[in-house]
Structure 1
Amino acid sequence: MSATDHIREIEAALSCAPVARDAFVVESWRRCVEQHGLDPARPSPAYIVPETQLRAHQERAQRLTSIARSGVAELFRQVAGQNYVLMLTDAQGVTVDFFGDANFEEDLRASGLFLGADWSEAQSGTSGVGTCLATGTAVTVHQQDHFDPHHIPLSCSAAPIHDLDGSLAAVLDVSLLRSPQPKSTQALALHMVTSAARRIELANLMAGMRNNWVLRFSARPEFLEVDPEAALGIDDSGRIIAGTHHALALLAGAEGAPVLGCPVGDFFSLEVEDLPAYSRASPSEERRLFLASGRCVYAHAIAPQPATRPRPVPMPPLPAPLAALHAGDSAVAKTLRVAANLAQTDLPIWITGASGTGKERLARAIHKVRDETAPFVVLQCADFPERELDDILFGDGRGQGGLIRAAQYGVLFLDQIDELPRNIQSRLARAIGDDGIRPAHGGAPIAVRAKIISASVVPIAQSGLRPDLLYRLSGAALALPALGERSDFDGLVDRLIRRITLAMPLSYRLSEAAREALRARIWSGNIRELKNTLQVAVAMAQEGIIDLDHLPAPVVAPARTCLPTAQGDLEQMLIRSGWNVSRVARARGVDRSTLHRQMKRAGLRRP
């Protein structure tokens, strides 16, 4: 359907002509025009709220977000293989938590399936989130159901999440960037997101009612313990003080009678003294309760918990760019938490980790959290001789300003910082100190306004840098463990397979034998080597199952095995030093440029 046809269909619907759309879609179109003043002939791109505004929304929603996160993460694990994106929005329709594939961040951001996107009906027209907020019900808004033509490729299923008092507090949305299938194929997605929202409400009530009775109930006894349908919070006097949406709606009935503040005996054939009889001490099929209407439900009463010391305030969720870097390893999570706290400061950061552990990826994630519109400039310190490095960093006096000035108000990432020549170290220390960059043609010095992130394969203390530079770069140290030391290996493997196969028609998975073989390998190349291995395996597996014979042979040694004795000694020195060119050059009594030439002649390259 073209944009013109879409506009004509909206005009027809608003003039009460019959259209093949759900009634709630037509009503939403009407609100878009009559209440919000939107025009389908003037499509507008997705709106992402400013960072400071997003933080305010996240702080207000922090309690519910922290409770919902495990449930949302579990749902994402179920649907990620089908290329879905999950968003949790607050009651204003602003996305405060987000799960999506980091490889498609630009497309997701452009489409509004991203952290900070405003999906309220007034801002974005008919959408899963906006229409769910407007109606208070779970909906699927599929392709041409959207009011704004900009959102027509999307398919969005959303369900409301209510707070303890029955008010609509958030929306859980599962969306596809593109869905060529008919709307009916999203019935399962709608069911899954509705079930997840119900479970989040239950978890929220359990967390908020620890010091009160909780009465959970279900229409079927076999589901009562594992997946109850609804729950109420009841105080010591027997009054209902909280409830999930389904529970409050069930008790209110068609008349919408008040529920909160009323005695539980007004609705069930029991008093507060009877609640202990509905504990797990008796079989679930014997714990029957009858509503005033005569309807039977099965109940489970949970007694108030004894008073405990106040629980610590839950930590806010990691920003999405950082959260995408781990899959459950506690050490990595701790490192990322520090990175999140430091991202908005001007403090320098030093990242250590073996080759392939993701040092540059972490630096780029910090940059995105800080301000992804600002420059991100990379310098591989080991790739250039000293004279070239000087011009590259500080400018050559012929109109080229240098990388430091190119990174102003952004991030300058200095990889392999321990390879920086001593003379360059001295000048860099002065530049990022009080002196600034002194232009070659004279004039006032230019202050350095970039956040500097350094990286090396050795810890700060072993870097060999001049002390004056060392202390200017070592504001905070972040360490990335080698792949073999991480406890989230399986999660990383699954995430990488999802990224590699995101645009492929098949859903790929590892056989248990292949997974065990990957766990047993020594990953000297770390995550980079693992990613390459999985890319080859996916290309070899035609049926979607990656088995042992699809895995390429492990990389155990460089391809070149023989060198003349002098060159072999040179190679061993490089290996023992962690390929620190500066250190080997000093040990051999030559400058770095000479050593670079010797390495080139010998065919030696850093792994």
Structure 2
Amino acid sequence: MTHSTAAASARAHTRVITEFARRPPLPAAADLIGRSWWRCLQQYGLQPGRKQPARIVTRSTLKEHQDAADELLAVARAGVNQLYASINGLGYVLLLTDHAGVTVQFHGERDLDDKLRQAGLYLGADWDESYAGTCAVGTCIQEQTALTCHRGDHFDGAHISLTCTAAPIFGPSGELIAVLDISALNSPAARDSQMFALHLTQLYARMIEDAYFLRRYRRHLVFRCDDSREFVALNGRVLLALDDTGTIVAANTAGRLLLADNPVWVPTARDETAAVQAAPSLPELLDSRWDDILAINQISADGVQAFRLSLNDQTVFGTLIEPKRQHDPSTHGRLGKESARPLERVPPLDRLAGDDAAMRKTIEQAKRFRQRDVNLLILGETGTGKDMLATAIHASGHRRQKPFVALNCAAIPESLIESELFGYSAGAFTGGRSRGAKGLVQQADGGTLFLDEIGDMPLPLQTRLLRVLAEGEVTPLGADKPVFVDCRVIAATHHNIQAMIERNEFRADLYYRLNGATLTLPPLRQRADREFLIRSLLAELKQKLKRPELRLRADVISALLAHSWPGNVRELVNVLAYAEANSSGDVITLADLPELRGTGQGDKLPGSEVGGSETGGSETGVVAAGETAANLPQPELTHTAVLTEEGQALVMLLDQHAWNLSEVARVMRVSRPTLYRRIRKFRIRRQTCVSPG
């Protein structure tokens, strides 16, 4: 740029700022450059058209700043070098400043030293906004967000040929500790030319921040997670440092944002540190047991496990970074491998699930009850595999050598269910066998009776079944004497039994007899282990049909993973069977699939009524089918006055119990996940609460 051209540009820039200064006071300008210009004019008293020389601090002052940032510099050095290697030769220099805006590390072309020093792109340069005016570093410190300050965005006329891009680096408590900046003496006029520079700077700022976090908490157990399984171990966005009990003691920026999104642990202060101070324990956040979290590295071959966040039902994939410490007997049994429970392998049950959090919890429950004679109730949408789970429980229990007898209560005419269940004696009714017949209850003696779709059983038969369960004996139709039977009953339904009880469509006493424990199967669309299930079912199909070379092409797997599966596992089984029969070779392609139709992911299916109602429910925490945060009403509320009567009652209850969620859930007789959903439904935040009376 010639001297005359530069002078003309400076005059034009002065006119722009002078015109801006004539506007009515607007301290809350819509854009951050505008806000910075107002600070320069109103707070700092800087004059438009000035050309201040760069301020370079003395060597002794620079050393003080570098010493104060020594730990960060040690961590950042590798990232800074790597970033500069990426931009070297493109006309950029690199600056790392401390929280005050003093450049404590610098990379640039040596043959441009004089020009860079004059421009302030140099070691020791002070880019505080109150002196340098609007600039990437100083404005980044004020706004605490990444930005590009491109040419005429600068306030000072000495900087209008520069383009600078900066990103903040935050400490574990949310405080700004540094700014990473790349700048060029000259750049294209178009602002869009700096988009890649902005993304690159943000990426490396985050890498440095996370490396600093891991260094600071190298003696803690750290949970790292992301919504992508493939990248979580190398580049998981969320970092949570934990103490020995699983309490979250610190979080990186992504982790603090995650906690701040939680309506239960919402920060009350402007800074994000409150989100950590009020954070749940990790088991609460993941709705999981601490022992299960500690066992991640033993449960999974790749050291990654799926979890479902209690705050929004989102699936995340997590891994543990264990501290490198000398063995301390006092910590034995509390961290890492020393505390992980031996993993019980039960093949019939283990093959039903991969690492989906909800399924893993259900399978763990099934393992605990498989050797007991407790009656079980399995809940799940149609096609979720309730019969498969019941069969696996029987096959892995102490009754496995005895019969497993199944009855679909919805598939047999009402007039025949009684004889099917209880049998009949000779001559009991016309058309029966001459010698009579044993009912299914008797056939299951010593083994397991599986009553599928128990919600469709007629009320009169419910009464007779209740008597069989209570007395342990059955009287066949037309018989005079009862017959003793010893069988375990597993029932299943897709109905909301609690709601049916309220409508007098199902006997409450029978429900309590059947519900020794409740096992809940999530719909396939909500499962994080869909790919595991696809491959497992394909393996079974290959073995059954003796086609060992059969495989799915990658785009087929992607299509299957993207489908919403309204028919759940049953639909998946049918789709794979169709594709196998339709394929002309050993590779199943998209052309081999049937037309996949269904509701969008997360939509509630017509007729799906799984789980506890919002007016009742048990401690098992059954969730209505398809219910996600997106399905819940999202009213805007700013005060309890706009809440419904139900919402206000919940606010009062939370206030009375000082937001002790476990206690509130116990009083309401609902599970914690159900309580979370109600809090989200009414958008209740802690500061919303009012004192009773």
Choose 1 or 2 for highest CA Rg: 2
